[in-house]
A and B are shown apart, each in its own frame.
Chain A
């Protein structure tokens, strides 16, 4: 029977993949062509959030390490666009002043990798609640660091006058920007799919299930967890780079701990460790934000309640529930065999 279960999980993942890939391509463009340009914006934000959630899922879902500071990387990625653009417009800091997208992207990756490496080295010496608290503390530290930078608007934020420039593509075109985000998400999901089945991914999952056992078979888990932590930060930094180019207005508020909470909400509600879980979570988040904020200003409260509900009653979040439903509807008829 175990083999049968695994087989069915594969089919479930395949179907969810087909649905997600098609829906994220067809719906926004359909609406856009029908004259609702506004929807393209919603979908762009959704896809960027999904990228960030996938990034967090690498460490949270595969690695079982609940990092609460991932909004910091989104902020860093966004400021890696904003600050060079600011200086090319108003002068100063010649070393990084640039409109060139590759400079922005390179800067975002370098800064995020460094920040993840330094904070990861320290945070990963702890586990459980301590790990949550310390990653959150580092995130808040970065938040206040950005707030204190008066040159870049401090609390008030910074307007990005010009988007990152790349040869051949212009991110000013909302359709192009959406395509870039969409393709990035697909590439990322595929990459994570490969990682989760790779030797590296297996070690991460092994450490999540039973770290003591991993030590006893001779694995130094720390190195792998640190690598995953850095990769995860890089992905969120990339999401921040896209978000900066999308909103063209950035502020420290986007790296507040409540933002980290929202990404975590997406991962857990959608289903940590499931390939499409974080993406489904991002969809639910956007829909709820949209619907609930119409009805009540206390919509964050309902988020919290929903999260508690899903943690208590829905193992594996929505994707867990989906694949269980998928399995049971297909396995009625096939019986358990030894």
Chain B
């Protein structure tokens, strides 16, 4: 138990004068739901982007399952088993939900130098894709275009796509943002269901969701980790209350 699946050491990233990631050390334990919280502009998305290979850190190391993956291109992060969802929804708007997820299934099932067979009729791609949609509760919508479904449904599509790459660990950047109560509740239960075999790093502003889900919470303020630990210790941490929870408590 409790060896880290992901270890971040001395990570730094700045944009011009803005230090978005300031000497961040972090350990995520295998199988846990690890929440990353912090006020707007704290550098949560920037950190997630580095952990998914979309941004290259200025210095520091990212070690995933014992392998240093710092500096590799994004697709290598995904292949190593780290998948992300985007804060600003990033799906294929002009494709159906099923096509979206099937693309992700295709991505992990070998190379795509196949020029002749109709991929939209391949059971090998379509059936798993449908299962992932079902897992997030979107199966009946599978033939809708991504641009036609609600914002909340697109967020769920993001998660289905991330799941379809069969990651060991999921990085979810505010998956509940803009969702209604019911949708959020459903997502929380979906995420709880994933807990069995996936490690989750969850960025979330909704404190109820965070305290309902998280095993560990890391608090980021101005790019720096100000506290990290079990939910109760975070709740009672004076520094955190001042810097963050105090203003945002509801």
Contact = CB atoms under 8 A, between A and B. Distances in A.
Q: Do the two chains bind? A: yes
Interface of A: 2-3, 194-195, 197-203, 206, 209-210, 212-220, 224, 227
Contacts of B53: 215
Contacts of A213: 90-92, 161
Contacts of A206: 92, 103
Contact of B112 (A3, A199, A209): A199
Given A215-B53, A215-B73, 13 more contacts: A194-B115, A194-B118, A199-B114, A199-B119, A202-B99, A202-B120, A203-B106, A210-B91, A213-B90, A216-B86, A217-B83, A220-B73, A224-B113
A198 B118 contact: yes
A304 B118 CA distance: 37
B112 A203 contact: yes
A10 B199 CA distance: 43
Interface in B161-185: 161-162, 164-165
Which of A3, A195, A199, A224 has the largest count of B CB atoms less than 10 A from its CB?
A199
Interface stretch (B36-44, B140-148, B208-216): B140-148
9 contacts: A194-B116, A199-B113, A202-B120, A203-B103, A217-B78, A217-B104, A217-B165, A219-B75, A220-B73
A214 B73 CA distance: 12
A130 B117 CA distance: 34
A202 B103 contact: yes
Chain B's interface size range is 35 or more
Contacts of A209: 92-95
Nearest to A197: B118
B116 to A, nearest CB: 5
Contacts of B79: 218
A195 B122 CA distance: 14
Nearest to B112: A199
Which of A197, A218, A219 has the largest count of B CB atoms less than 10 A from its CB?
A218
Nearest to B148: A2
Contact of B165 (A3, A197, A218): A218
B52 A216 contact: yes
B87 interface: no
Interface string B126-162: 0000000000000000011100100000000000011
Contacts, number: 100
B143 A198 contact: no
Contacts of B75: 214-215, 218-220
A200 B120 CA distance: 12
Contacts of A217: 78, 83, 103-104, 107-108, 161-162, 164-165
Q: Closest 5 interchain pairs by CB?
A: A218-B78, A215-B74, A199-B112, A217-B107, A199-B114
Contacts of A219: 75, 107, 112
B13 interface: no
Contacts of A218: 75, 78-79, 107-108, 165
A216 B148 contact: no
B117 A198 contact: yes
Given A2-B145, A194-B116, A202-B112, A210 B92 contact: yes
A2 B146 CA distance: 10
B96 interface: yes
B87 to A, nearest CB: 13
B148 A200 contact: no
Nearest to B98: A2
Given A216-B52, A216-B54, A210 B90 contact: yes
B195 to A, nearest CB: 22
A2 B54 CA distance: 33
Contacts of B120: 197, 202
Contact of A216 (B90, B106, B108, B143): B90
Contacts of A224: 112-113
Contacts of B74: 212, 215-216
A201 B113 CA distance: 9
Nearest to B79: A218
B107 A214 contact: yes
Interface in B28-76: 52-54, 73-75
A201 B91 CA distance: 18
Contacts of B115: 194-195, 198, 200-201
B92 A227 contact: no
B84 interface: yes
Contacts of B117: 198-199
A214 B103 CA distance: 9
Nearest to A338: B144
B84 A216 contact: yes
Nearest to A231: B115
Contacts of A3: 143
Contacts of B144: 2
B247 to A, nearest CB: 32
A203 B151 CA distance: 25
A199 to B, nearest CB: 4
